[in-house]
Structure 1
Amino acid sequence: MDNVGIVVEDLGAAIEFFRELGLELEGRSAVEGEWAGRVTGLGDQRVEIAMMRTPDGYGRLELSRFLEPAVVADHRQAPVNALGYLRVMFAVDDLDETLDRLRAHGAEIVGGEVVRYEDAYRFCYVRGPEGILIGLAEELA
């Protein structure tokens, strides 16, 4: 897999949110023109993108802000059992510390609690800026 894409309205806020998770901004650029629209099927388009790289260097997250054409659907508040894109799960070393950092960026725990699975993991889903849904998992040693 090369990357996972998420469409956002506020690219700066999304970048800062994912930086708090340890992702590094690899670059920002504009993607526009007829060639890009042929790939997406949207025709002539203008998109501002930011590519974020995971700390291990293997995974990337592409954040996109569409300038043209206008966004036509909004799935940000869909429940976790909705069809289509659901969430991206991140492994973290310290779930409580990570949540404290993300709360400064407006993050809220879905369901209001961190759940423990036996003596193996602690999990939660989090809604970040614009309702972006992510999962966090801390492996217990």
Structure 2
Amino acid sequence: MVLPRLEHVGIVVGDLEAAKAFFAELGLEVAGEMSVEGRAVDRITGLGGVRSDMVMLRTPDGHGKLELIRYRAPSSPGGDPEAPSNAPGLRHILFEVSDVEGVLARLRPHGGQLVGELVEYENSFKLCYVRGPEGIIVELAERIG
């Protein structure tokens, strides 16, 4: 098999602690934290003088991983934390939850804001987009059918 699995999704953030708290409140668990720098990291990223801090989070079932990365150097050109959900690029990640209203209430103190509305979709899921730290869009799905 050429592609045995998806290992993780990486997201670059400016405030690593805020992003970590948001995803921990969602239910992800910290699997590890580290800082990296050096020639090998520069070569991998195509950047010079990289110094970064990373947190690896995993879903409770252990199958999904999310890597949050804060670059201390080099400086970033920045992004658009208000980018609409149809802007080109990696735009959202989806997590299935058991109580979407409860999750929304827990995420609000961590900056979580609905992008649109919470909708019952075809009697199968309650779905919504939530914008969190750094403008990251998370889709929440509660199975109802």
Partner residue, 1:63: 68
| Distance (Å, rounded) in 2 between the aligned partners of 1:65 and 1:24 | 18
Aligned CA-pair RMSD: 1.0
Alignment of 1:25-64 (within 5 A): 25-64=30-69
- Aligned mate of 1:125, from 112, 116, 129: 129
Residue 88 of structure 1 aligns with an amino acid whose one-letter code is I
Deviations 1:33-80, CA, capped at 9 Å, x for gaps: 111010010122001100001111011100000001011130322111
TM-score normalised according to structure 1 size: 0.95
Deviations 1:84-116, CA, capped at 9 Å, x for gaps: 1111100000100000100111110002x2011
| Distance (Å, rounded) in 2 between the aligned partners of 1:34 and 1:77 | 34
C-alpha contact 1:105 1:128 (8 A) present in aligned 2: yes
Partner residue, 2:78: 73
| Distance (Å, rounded) in 2 between the aligned partners of 1:117 and 1:42 | 43
SS in structure 1 of the partner of residue 21 of structure 2: helix
Provide the aligned length of Structure 1 versus Structure 2.
Answer: 140
SS in structure 1 of the partner of residue 83 of structure 2: coil
CA displacement at 1:119 relative to structure 2: 1.1
Residue 140 in 1 paired to residue 141 in 2? no
TM-score normalised according to structure 2 size: 0.93
C-alpha contact 1:76 1:133 (8 A) present in aligned 2: no
| Distance (Å, rounded) in 2 between the aligned partners of 1:11 and 1:37 | 20
Residue 55 of structure 1 aligns with an amino acid whose one-letter code is P
| Distance (Å, rounded) in 1 between the aligned partners of 2:131 and 2:81 | 9
| Distance (Å, rounded) in 2 between the aligned partners of 1:76 and 1:6 | 13
Moved over 6 A (4+): none
Aligned-pair identity (%): 50
| Distance (Å, rounded) in 2 between the aligned partners of 1:83 and 1:131 | 14
